Structure 1
Amino acid sequence: MPLQTIRIAGAIFLGTIGAAMAQERIKISSEWGSVTAEVVDNAATKALLDMLPLTIPMTDHLRQEKTGSLPAGLPPAARKRAFKNGTIGLWGPDHFVVYYRDGQVPEPGIIILGEVKGGASIFDRAGSVAVRIERED
């Protein structure tokens, strides 16, 4: 195998390990408990991380999600229509969402910010709740 090919393969491998080790996590906590989410790498998530820590009052919407407003809008990023239990996302520029059921949203979809590991079923109850979002150490 030529030396150049080995160098390229090694760089790709090390780049993959570096990306995995650099995975950002946030903690979302409330009086109902706390969960950890791994965030995706996009402009909206980077802007969210710069806002942390923050507390958001959230309300139940359609018995599938908790929603609340961020103090400022986040930059646009790619959108998806499907979500699952544990998806955290952005509906409008400042509309933070934690989904505790699977489903789909209408066009234009949501900006995916990350995923709660193990699901977000702690939020599957009627009523409002204040959540605190912070970087996980």
Structure 2
Amino acid sequence: MQNARQLTITVTGQRLTATLDDSPAAADLLAQLPVTVDMTDHGGVEKTGRLPGPLSLQGQPDGSDPDIGDLGYYAPGNDLVLYYGDQSYHPGIVVLGRLNDGAADRIAAINGDVTVTVEAR
């Protein structure tokens, strides 16, 4: 992946990593870092939390069917999303990149709501 950008995501003291795609939405996320986000667990498949500002939707489809391990953005709620389970297609979802090295499994093992810090590496 050209111009890949690496993130460190700290969840309950665990340092995880992610790789951002090269997109306007990912660039907007980088511009907001570092950021701390309070995340809620939704349906046993994702943790979501509101970002300080919206991300660009330029060049993005109307929705997406994220894979387990995707890092996403839910535009209607202005939410950063960590996908650790199987979420089906939904309008407003933008895939920003991928969680690395089994991070999705580690997030899945954390029950309930969390506070997450996201930083550029």
With normalisation by structure 1, the TM-score equals 0.77
Higher-helix-fraction structure: 1
Aligned residues: 116
> Which contiguous aligned blocks of 4+ residues in structure 1 show a shift greater than 6 angstroms?
none
Query: Does the CA-based 8 Å contact 1:66-1:98 persist in structure 2?
Result: yes
Q: Does 1:58 align with 2:26?
A: no
Q: Look up the match of 1:71.
A: 52
Query: Does the CA-based 8 Å contact 2:64-2:95 persist in structure 1?
Result: no
Q: Does 1:88 align with 2:71?
A: yes
SS state at 1:74 partner: coil
Q: Could you list the runs of 5+ residues in structure 2 that have no partner in the other structure?
A: none
Q: CA deviation at 1:92?
A: 1.5
Q: 2:11 aligns with which of 30, 53, 69?
A: 30
Higher relative contact order (CA 8 A, sep 6+): 2
Q: Does 1:105 align with 2:89?
A: yes
SS state at 2:75 partner: coil
Percent identity over the alignment is 34
Q: CA deviation at 1:32?
A: 4.9
Q: Deviations over 1:18-46 (max 9, x none)?
A: x3xx4211011121512111100111110
Q: CA deviation at 1:63?
A: 0.5
Query: Does the CA-based 8 Å contact 2:69-2:99 persist in structure 1?
Result: yes
Q: Could you list the runs of 5+ residues in structure 1 that have no partner in the other structure?
A: 1-15
How many angstroms apart in 2 are the aligned matches of 1:39 and 1:76? Answer: 15
Query: Does the CA-based 8 Å contact 1:81-1:105 persist in structure 2?
Result: yes
Higher-strand-fraction structure: 2
Q: Which amino acid aligns with 2:89?
A: V
